[in-house]
Every structure is written in structure tokens, then in C-alpha cells.
């Protein structure tokens, strides 16, 4: 039952935002009373915190599964992007903004966890890419991994990138191509071009 509540809460939070969704909304979506939800979660803040952690663990596990496939580093990045877009539902409601504004402690904690996971993922990706001759040997791996995380977070800033002007899909596609073309060798550029030709409309 608790897992069902978390799944539904995550779905609603991502679709409508952490502030916008009420306990009544979640109860109605599940076809149960609020009293039942409160048996598992003391209040909305607790539910938000556990929902965020549930989503984080789901995404972290999915990223690890993709990394275990040991695809070439360029294809791996695009596969992770596709997985994130599927699980974050295009983030049309600006959930990150609402989480940061209304639940700052939860936001700070999850951002630190996200950074640890992404830094490890990106660092390994960069190091593999250099060894395979797809990324330039002269890149500063530590710098690039930190810039990558910072820019990915910035894409979700709706003041910088209003939803009316930029879809998350477009932002992610443009940023990944920007990122990769800045660090790739000629062999890597050729691989990007082939991948985009086959997989992008």
C-alpha cells in the first residue's frame, strides 16, 4: 500500500508540482480516504520527502542499469537522457522550482545526492570516452563533470527557460549536443552525427 501511495504521489507531483498537489488529490487518485494515507505518512512534508527519495532511488537504479550495458560513452549519455525524460515526464509543472521554494531542506538534500550520482556517472563516462579516443585527451574531467551538473540543473530554471519557449525535451537535446561537441574528437563528432541521424527526427 505504501509503495502504491508513493508511486501515485510521484506521478501527481511531477505532473502538477509539489505545492499544487494536495493530500486530497492523492487520496482521490488512489480511491481512498486521506485517513488511510496518514497511516503511512504523518503529513504532506513527510510524503514529499519520501516521494522525492523514491523517485531518486528509481532513477539512480535505472542509470546504473544503463551504465552496466557498457555502451560507448556517447550513446550512453543519450540513453540516460531518454530514460530521465521518460521518468521525469518532461517536468512541465516545474517541480524542481516548487520543491526548492516550498521544501528547501528536502531540495538541498536531494540536490547533494543527485550531484554525487551524476558526478560519478559523468566522470566515468568522460574517462572512458578519453580512453576510447572519442573525447579529447586535454579535457579537465573534474571541471567538465561539475559544469555538466550545474548546466543540467540550470535547464530546469523556468525563469531562464520559460516553458512557453522551451520544452524540456528540446533543452536536453540541445544541451547534450552542445556538451558533447565541446569535448569530442573528430571520431566522437562522427559518432554523434551518425547517432543523431539515426535516432533524432
What pLDDT is attached to residue 166? 85
- For the chain, how many structural domains are there in total? 1
Q: What is the pTM of this model?
A: 0.88
Report the pLDDT value the prediction gives residue 91, as an integer from 0 to 100. 55
Copy the grid coordinates of residue 115. Answer: 550531484
In a domain, 57, yes or no: yes
- At residue 90, the pLDDT reads 58
- Give residue 162's pLDDT: 85
pLDDT at 126: 98
Between the two ends of the chain, the Cα-to-Cα distance in Å is 41
Indicate the DSSP class of residue 90. Answer: G
DSSP state letter for 39: T
Which CATH number goes with the domain that contains 87? 1.10.357.10
Give the pLDDT confidence score for residue 92 in this predicted structure: 58
3 state DSSP class of 158: coil
Specify the pLDDT at position 96. 81
Task: Determine the structural domain holding residue 87 and report its residue range.
Answer: 52-199
Q: What angle do CA 144, 148, 152 make, to 5 degrees?
A: 170
Give the whole-angstrom CA distance, residue 198 versus residue 28: 43
Q: Which residues of 80-96 are buried (b: 16+ CB within 10 A; e: fewer)?
A: bbeebeeebeebebbbb
Positions in the chain short of pLDDT 50: none
In terms of Cβ atoms closer than 10 Å to its own Cβ (0-12, 13-18, 19+), residue 3 is: exposed
For position 200, what pLDDT does the model report? 64
Task: Please indicate, yes or no, if residue 2 is contained in any of the structural domains.
Answer: no
Could you tell me if residue 173 is inside a domain? yes
147 assigned to some structural domain: yes
Residue 128 lies in a domain: yes
Tell me, what's the pLDDT at 201?
A: 52
Residue 64 lies in a domain: yes
Asked if residue 21 is part of any domain, the answer here is no
The answer to whether position 85 is within a domain reads: yes
Amino acid at each position: 500500500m505504501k509503495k502504491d501511495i508513493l508511486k501515485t504521489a510521484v506521478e501527481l507531483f511531477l505532473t502538477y508540482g509539489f505545492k499544487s498537489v494536495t493530500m486530497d488529490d492523492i487520496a482521490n487518485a488512489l480511491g481512498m480516504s486521506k485517513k488511510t494515507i496518514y497511516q503511512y505518512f504523518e503529513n504532506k512534508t513527510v510524503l514529499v520527502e519520501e516521494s522525492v527519495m523514491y523517485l531518486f532511488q528509481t532513477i539512480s537504479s535505472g542509470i546504473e542499469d544503463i551504465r552496466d550495458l557498457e555502451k560507448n560513452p556517447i550513446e550512453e549519455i543519450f540513453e540516460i537522457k531518454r530514460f530521465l525524460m521518460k521518468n521525469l515526464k518532461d517536468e512541465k509543472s516545474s517541480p524542481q522550482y516548487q520543491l526548492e521554494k516550498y521544501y528547501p531542506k528536502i531540495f538541498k538534500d536531494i540536490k547533494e545526492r543527485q550531484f554525487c550520482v551524476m558526478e560519478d556517472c559523468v566522470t566515468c563516462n568522460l574517462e572512458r570516452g578519453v580512453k576510447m579516443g572519442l573525447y579529447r585527451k586535454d579535457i579537465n574531467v573534474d571541471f567538465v563533470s561539475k559544469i555538466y551538473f550545474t548546466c543540467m540543473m540550470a535547464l530546469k530554471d523556468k525563469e531562464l527557460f520559460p516553458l512557453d519557449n522551451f520544452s524540456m525535451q528540446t533543452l536536453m537535446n540541445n544541451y547534450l549536443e552542445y556538451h558533447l561537441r565541446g569535448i569530442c574528437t573528430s571520431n566522437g563528432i562522427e559518432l554523434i552525427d551518425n547517432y543523431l541521424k539515426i535516432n533524432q527526427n
